[in-house]
Amino acid sequence: MAEAELLAATVMMGEHGRKRAGQGDEFWQYRPVNAGDSARLIDWRRSARGDAHFVREREWQSAQSVTLWVDPAKSMAFSGDKSRAPKADRAQVLALATAVLLLRAGERVGLAGDGAPPRPGRAQIVKLAAVLSGAEEAGEYGAPTATGMVSHGRALFLSDFLGDLAPVEAALTAAADRGVRGALVQVLDPAEEEFPFSGRTIFESMGGGMRHETQQAGDLRARYLARLAERKDRLAQLGRAVGWHVSTHHTGQPAQSALLWIYRALQGGR
């Protein structure tokens, strides 16, 4: 939570205006007085500039519901260097920092599933942190769920997306059917991106379910990078099909850049 709070402090976030008159704090526009408007609605300072009377309208604002899914699978525990945190740590910090920003802006934030439905307020950050830190590793690779998403809300999926992409497609389709828009962030370790292996190497999955030994790891690099590029392209295609934004973040990169991208993506790319 402390790391997420510090990270969130580096990003300034605005309110979710709806660009029409109604309840809210932000000025939207002046309009001429209409029949039926009470005198208390008139902006006398603006009206004093001419012969007509004007009403000062405020921009209508309402809270969005944003649902987060952070992959709890064993593959997320990988780190290619002792100096780097595991992918799971970075994904959880990014999720919590996103929640901090959204909750401060008056939004409702929750987790996919039934553990923490979207709610507003500071206490929700504590709830989210408790659920994320207590999540049990579930299998070699994770599968997102659309359970708990609020219709016409927003969503954020954080994962390495190295497992079967069929569940990802199913979750995105279910979300799109509810009018949910959002973002996918593929969190990878630099070693997974660069494949810096050569000579005799033993590759083993984090859960121990898969193992491969080779005498010439360098010979696998071109094929591995091609497969990874294909996977990224498939993720991008899935995102475009449902109107979601897709990005890749490396644990060797500053978290601030990823958080800023997430903020902009959840704002619809504005």
> Please, what are the domains in the chain?
22-61 (no CATH), 63-267 (3.40.50.410)
C-alpha gyration radius of the chain: 23
Confidence check: pLDDT of 57 > 80? no
Quick one: DSSP state of residue 19? E
- In this prediction, residues 114-129 reach a mean pLDDT of 88
Task: Name which of 214, 234, 215 is nearest 226 in CA terms.
Answer: 234
Burial category of 26 from C-beta neighbours within 10 Å (exposed 0-12, middle 13-18, buried 19 and up): exposed
Contact in structure between 151 and 179 (CB atoms under 8 Å): yes
Range of weakest confidence among 17-21, 118-122, 167-171, 199-203: 17-21
Residue range 124-132: mean pLDDT, rounded:
91
pLDDT at 32 over 60: yes
Q: How confident is the model at residue 206 (pLDDT cuts 50, 70, 90)?
A: confident
What is the b/e burial string over 99-126, where b = at least 16 CB atoms within 10 angstroms of the residue's CB?
bbbbbebebbbbbbbeebbbeeeeebbe
**pLDDT-based confidence at residue 22 (cuts at 50, 70, 90):** very low
Q: 85 exposed, middle or buried (CB, 10 Å; 0-12, 13-18, 19+)?
A: middle
**Alpha-carbon distance 98 to 101, whole Å?**
5
Average pLDDT rounded to a whole number, residues 65-84: 92
| Separation of alpha carbons 68 and 148, rounded Å | 10
User: Binning pLDDT at 50, 70 and 90, where does residue 67 land?
Assistant: very high
| Mean pLDDT, rounded, for 102-130 | 88
Helix (H) or strand (E) holding 246: strand 245-250
pLDDT tens figures, 75-115: 999 998 888 999 999 999 999 999 999 988 888 999 998 77
How much is the mean pLDDT over the chain? 84
Judge whether residue 21 has pLDDT over 60. Answer: no
Query: Do residues 97 and 163 touch, judged by C-beta distance below 8 A?
Result: no
- Band (pLDDT 50/70/90 cuts) for residue 139 is confident
What distance, in Å, lies between the first and last C-alpha atoms of the chain? 28
Question: Looking at residues 49-60, what average pLDDT do you find?
Answer: 68
Percentage of the residues of the chain whose pLDDT score is greater than 90 = 47
Confidence of residue 15 (pLDDT cuts 50, 70, 90): very low
What residues form DSSP beta bridges with 56? Answer: 30
pLDDT of residue 196: 85
pTM equals 0.78
Is the predicted pLDDT of residue 43 greater than 90, yes or no? no
pLDDT at 18 over 50: no
| Proportion of the chain above pLDDT 70, given as a percent | 85
Residue 116 has pLDDT above 80, yes or no: yes
Residues β-bridged to residue 210: none
Which of 207, 67, 77, 89 minimizes the C-alpha distance to 144?
A: 67
Average pLDDT over residues 53-61: 61
Q: What per-residue confidence (pLDDT) applies to 208?
A: 78
Query: What is the pLDDT confidence band of residue 17, given thresholds at 50, 70 and 90?
Result: very low
The helix, strand and coil proportions of the chain, stated in percent and rounded to the nearest 5, come to 40, 20, 40
Angle CA(241)–CA(145)–CA(119) in degrees, nearest 5?
105
